[in-house]
Structure 1
Amino acid sequence: MFKSKNPSFVIKIKQKQQTGSPANLPVCFFRMYFENTKQYAILRVGKKQWHATMIYYPNRKNALISNWRLFVKENNLKAGNVCIFELINRQDPELKVHIRRSHD
């Protein structure tokens, strides 16, 4: 069980995300913590970091993380893995990513 005083959300990796499909993130999270419809952020796993663009589409009522393919590849993410994104810096958006590997 993950507990943090920082805002967070969870993404369970699906098969299609391994091939580069962007990851959906909760619209309520995006709207609560970001002001613009496009937000640049840093994703951090340990000492490594990746630049990501989070985009909110109000007309489709969905939000996603682009630049996802490289993050998935370099972290060897597989279907069933779970990523917990913890917002550790709101001013210059940075999300610490905790990866829980599936053992299937």
Structure 2
Amino acid sequence: MATIEECRTALEKLSDNMQGAEGDVRAAAALDRSVSCLITDLDVTFVGRLTGGRIEVSDTLEGPPREKAEIRLTMTGEDLVALVDGGLNFAKAWGTGRVKLEASLLDLFRLRKLL
């Protein structure tokens, strides 16, 4: 099981990867939206904002998110680390329900370029 620190590090690495992207991926990451990432096995939620091509985590909360973010992710800590390290394919994980991504239809179309 991944720790809270490993999950935070994975989110920072994802953020760095997004900021360094080019073309369509960079455009997709340029959204300005609230974000939450519920780590189910740790029962913690990272909340923050996708802005300037980065995910800025502003807080770590116990339990599920208290407010509904515009982009919501749900997964285990191990899956988050594996996704960021390249050991888990997002499309497969999403298709099998290991990872949940909730957002508006328009945002999902934009975010698909990141996947």
User: How high is the TM-score relative to the length of structure 2?
Assistant: 0.31
Name whichever structure is richer in helix by fraction.
2
Name whichever structure is richer in strand by fraction.
1
Q: Higher relative contact order at CA 8 Å, sep ≥6: structure 1 or structure 2?
A: 1
